[in-house]
Structure 1
Amino acid sequence: MSLNINYRLTGVGWAECTLSDDQSTCTVTASYLSDALHNLVLAAHALLSRFTKLSFSFDEEPGEYQWVITSPRLNEIELQILSLGELWGDRPDSEGRRLFRTVCTPETFATAVHTAAAAVLAEHGESGYYEKWSEYPFPIAQFEQLSVALARLQA
């Protein structure tokens, strides 16, 4: 299954992330309250390193979008994005409203994240990203680690 991710900065301290696969599309937003792009890049690298379950959030004002990724089978992940009404509410995933679900390989997810992050870096550069995101720098070290991990898979 294909997966496309488009991540863009929409204002100072605000970002929008659109995900689409062969069947559906979902757009979520994030505020500067979380280091959203950093979390996304870390998750992609972790999945290439064979993590079998992880979650992170894009913080909103109010609420949050919880990304829940599990690996039910070898070389397969299930990605769900849940909407939770309370920011930092420490609520169980079962209380979230599912906005998006897809199944793909870890490499498909990591490639989509890498492409999205590369586009942000190309558009803004590191200094432009920091100016626009305001709280956190572009995750350059993590992006480079992801680049190396993907290159190893393609070699």
Structure 2
Amino acid sequence: MRLTIDFRVTGVGWSECKVADEVASCNVTASYLSDALRYLVLAATAVLSQFSRVTFRFDEEPGEYRWVITSPRINEIELKILEFPELWGEKPDSEGTVLFHTTCLPITFAEAVHKAAVDVLATLGEGGYAAQWSEHPFPALQVQELARLLELENRDT
């Protein structure tokens, strides 16, 4: 299954992320209240490191988009993006509205995230990202680690 992720900073402290597979797509946004791009990159690193479950959120004002990634089988992940009406409500996943649901290989997710982060860096540079995102610097070290893990993964296949 093919997966694309397009993360863009759309204004000071605001971003938009489009996630799509061959069947469906969804657009979610995040404010500077969360370090959205860094969380996305760390999730991809965790997926390649064979974590069985990863969750993180894109904070909104108000609301939350919760990303839930599980590994139901070896070399497969299930990605769900859930929407919650209130920020920091800590509601169980079952109370969220499913906006997107797909399964793919861990490397497919990691490559899509890496491409999204590299595209942001190419567009804004680290300084431009810091100026636009305001509260958090570009996650350069995390992107480098993700690239290293992808290189190892591709070397082994």
TM class, shorter-length: over 0.9
Q: Which residue of 1 aligns with 2:25?
A: 25
Residues 102-143 of structure 1: per-residue CA shift (max 9 Å, x gap): 000110000000000000000011010000000000000000
1:153: Cα distance to partner? 1.0
Q: Partners of 1:128 and 1:28 in 2: how far apart?
A: 22
Q: Partners of 1:139 and 1:68 in 2: how far apart?
A: 21
1:70: Cα distance to partner? 0.4
* TM-score, length-scaled by structure 1: 0.99
Q: Partners of 2:76 and 2:153 in 1: how far apart?
A: 15
- Alpha-carbon RMSD: 0.4
Q: Which residue of 1 aligns with 2:6?
A: 6
Residues 89-114 of structure 1: per-residue CA shift (max 9 Å, x gap): 11000000000000001100000000
Q: Partners of 2:103 and 2:25 in 1: how far apart?
A: 13
Q: Which residue of 2 aligns with 1:113?
A: 113
Q: Which residue of 2 aligns with 1:132?
A: 132
1:14 is aligned with what amino acid? W
- Could you say what secondary structure the match of 1:56 adopts? strand
1:39: Cα distance to partner? 0.1
- Could you say what secondary structure the match of 2:65 adopts? strand
* TM-score, length-scaled by structure 2: 0.98
Identity fraction in percent: 60
Residues 54-75 of structure 1: per-residue CA shift (max 9 Å, x gap): 1000000000000000000000
Aligned length: 155
1:48: Cα distance to partner? 0.3
Q: Which runs of 5+ in 1 are unaligned?
A: none
2:36 is aligned with what amino acid? A
- Could you say what secondary structure the match of 2:110 adopts? helix
Q: Which residue of 1 aligns with 2:62?
A: 62
1:154: Cα distance to partner? 1.2
Q: Partners of 1:63 and 1:42 in 2: how far apart?
A: 22
Q: Partners of 1:55 and 1:154 in 2: how far apart?
A: 25
- Could you say what secondary structure the match of 2:128 adopts? helix
1:97 aligns with 2:104: no
1:90 is aligned with what amino acid? E
Q: Partners of 2:36 and 2:62 in 1: how far apart?
A: 15
Q: Which runs of 5+ in 2 are unaligned?
A: none
Runs of 4+ in 1 over 3 A off after TM superposition: none
- Could you say what secondary structure the match of 2:86 adopts? coil
Q: Which residue of 2 aligns with 1:145?
A: 145
